[in-house]
Amino acid sequence: MGYYSVALDMTGRFTVVIGGGTVAERKVKGLLEAGAAVTVISPSLTAQLARWVKQGRISHVARSYTPGDLAGYELAFVATDDPRVNAAVFRESKKRGLWVNAADDPAHCDFILPSVLRRGELAVAVSTGGSSPALARAIREELEAYFTRDYDALTQIVTAVRKELRQRSVTPRSEAWHGALKGELRALIRRGELKRAKTYLLDQLGGKPC
């Protein structure tokens, strides 16, 4: 598998999505959540995409893709069922040094998108290297039962504690983190005792509790 897993900072990145159907809508939703600046090129839009246009959250070019449309963008997403469009966008992306993702068409992709489970700032990604998106989705759905909503609170507490420790110039070893993130901490979070959980974690890592 020739893919290298990364997490991209999409804040403010100019991104174009070609297509206006349900697949395009899913792409746009994820891009908006990541803070990207999104333009959709399509003669028609889903109701949700149209609402985002009306709200000023995305821009819309009301026509089909034509060569030259990738100018000024950093990433491109193709969400049509037309392989000719996929191929044309891919060719233009190569000329412009642009990365492109074509839905269900790995041959015309510079990158693929994993199936992602989110719990607040925690993201768990599952990928099959583009060979079976359906399997990746099925595995992600299985993981939902394990990664409960408690993981959102856990992530927030760990983030806050890490920030406080840095401010105090305390740098726990990785072994200390590994041990502190088990057992009692998880039990406190499950019981909703979040302040006690934070104090416990600070104490375990050598930081003075607030």
pLDDT computed for residue 210 by the predictor: 46
CA distance 75 to 89: 11
63 inside domain: yes
Q: Are residues 33 and 81 in the same domain?
A: yes
Grade residue 1 by pLDDT with cuts at 50, 70 and 90. Answer: low
Per residue in 178-194, pLDDT tens?
999 987 999 999 999 99
CATH code for the domain in which residue 34 is found: 3.40.50.720
User: Pairing state of beta strands 75-78 and 14-18?
Assistant: parallel
Q: Are residues 75 and 138 in the same domain?
A: no
Average pLDDT, the chain: 93
186 inside domain: yes
Q: Are residues 139 and 161 in the same domain?
A: no
Domain count, the chain: 3
Higher pLDDT, 208 or 57: 57
The range of the structural domain enclosing residue 124 comes to 114-147
Q: Are residues 107 and 21 in the same domain?
A: yes
24 inside domain: yes
Higher pLDDT, 1 or 124: 124
Q: Is the pLDDT of residue 142 over 60?
A: yes
Per residue in 90-100, pLDDT tens?
999 999 999 99
Per residue in 5-22, pLDDT tens?
889 999 999 999 999 999
Higher pLDDT, 128 or 160: 160
Grade residue 133 by pLDDT with cuts at 50, 70 and 90. Answer: confident
CA distance 42 to 97: 23
Q: Is the pLDDT of residue 209 over 60?
A: no
- Among residues 60, 68, 70, the alpha carbon closest in space to that of 39 is found at 60
Per residue in 76-116, pLDDT tens?
999 998 999 999 999 999 999 999 999 888 889 999 999 99
Tell me if 101 sits within 8 A of 111, measured CB to CB: yes
pLDDT computed for residue 161 by the predictor: 96
9 inside domain: no
